[in-house]
Amino acid sequence: AWRLLANCRIASRDLDGALEPLAKAGELATDAQSWLMLGQLELQRERFAPARDALTKALTKAKPTERASIQLLLG
């Protein structure tokens, strides 16, 4: 539900409103997608420390096939 709310806010261009739901979704999810989306949003906003934190959390939940793209974003 948190990820759905975040996606709706992103679709309505309310990027600031999507940050908190993505963080909550990331905490509850078993996959890396919510943390990855949060990291990408933070990168777009040029907020690099929060982006690094979100992408690091995404890396801990990532599948082996997802790790390379997350590491590229971290670089």
Amino acid present at 3: R
CB atoms within 10 A of CB 54: 27
pTM of whole model > 0.85? yes
Using 50, 70 and 90 to split pLDDT, how confident is the model at 7? Answer: very high
- Decide: 39 and 59 in contact? Cβ < 8 Å: no
Helix 2-11 to helix 15-28 angle (10° resolution) is 160
Chain segment 14-23, per-residue pLDDT in tens: 999 999 999 9
Chain segment 23-52, per-residue pLDDT in tens: 999 999 999 999 999 999 999 999 999 999
- Decide: 41 and 57 in contact? Cβ < 8 Å: no
pLDDT at residue 20, rounded to an integer: 95
The continuous run of DSSP H or E covering 64 comes out as none
Give the percent of the chain with pLDDT over 90: 99
